Amino acid sequence: MTLDELLAKLGIADEKKANATAEINSFLNGQYVPKARFNEVNEEKKKLTETVTERDKQLTELQKAGGDTDALKEQINKLQEANKAASKKFEEDMKALKVDNAIRLAVSGDAQDVDIVAGLINRQTIVLGDDGKLTGLQEQLETLKKEKAFLFKAKEEPKSAGYTPKGGAGPATKNPFAKETFNLTEQGRLFRENPEQARQLAAEAGVVI
C-alpha cells in the first residue's frame, strides 16, 4: 500500500494530503523502511544463511575425505566449482530482486495495479546502476502510458479559483470580487458582458449584490 492509498483509506481530503504527508514524514523521522527494501534485505539474509549452512556441510565432507589425498583434491575441485556457480546465481538473483523492487517503487505512484504494470516491463533492457537508479525504465513507461493509458491513474487537472471569459475562450481569470484579486474595472466588464456569472463570482467571494 502506498502513502497515497493509506491517506485515501483514512479518508483524508485531497486538499489536506500534503499536510498529512508532511506530518507523517516528520513523525517517522527517517526511520521508515519501504516494504520493498525490507523484503530485499530479508531475502539477502536468507540467501546468506543458506550459503553459510551449505559451506558448513562442505567442510564436514572434506574432513571425512581427509585420509585420502586424491579424493580430497577431487572433492575440493568439485566444491570450488559448485561455490562459483552458487555465488554467480546468488548475485544474479539479488540483482533481479533489486531491479524488480526498483521497478515497483517507480510505478507505484502512477499505476492502477503495480503488479500488472511491473509485469509488462522488459527487464532485459534495463540497467541497474550502483546508485540504485534504473536506465531504460522511463522509456518503457512512456510507451505503456501511450499504448495502455487505462493501466495508469488519470492526472487531475488543477482547479482554477477564477472564471472563464464569456464564450469559453481564453484562460481562466482570477475572481475580481475576491479580496486578494479585487478589480473594479473587471467587475464592470463582467456585469456588462455576463451578469449571471458576475453574480455567481460575487457570491463565491462573499459579496452581496
Q: What confidence tens digit (pLDDT) does each residue in 46-64 have?
A: 777 777 677 777 767 776 6
- Of 75, 124, 84, 118, the C-alpha closest to 100 is 118
User: At how many degrees (to 10) do helices 195-204 and 184-193 cross?
Assistant: 140
Answering whether pTM is above 0.75, one says no
* Confidence at residue 160, expressed as pLDDT on a 0 to 100 scale: 46
Bridge partner list, 163: 173
DSSP assignment letter at 174: -
Extents of the domains making up the chain: 33-151, 157-209
Q: Write out pLDDT tens, residues 8-17.
A: 666 777 666 6
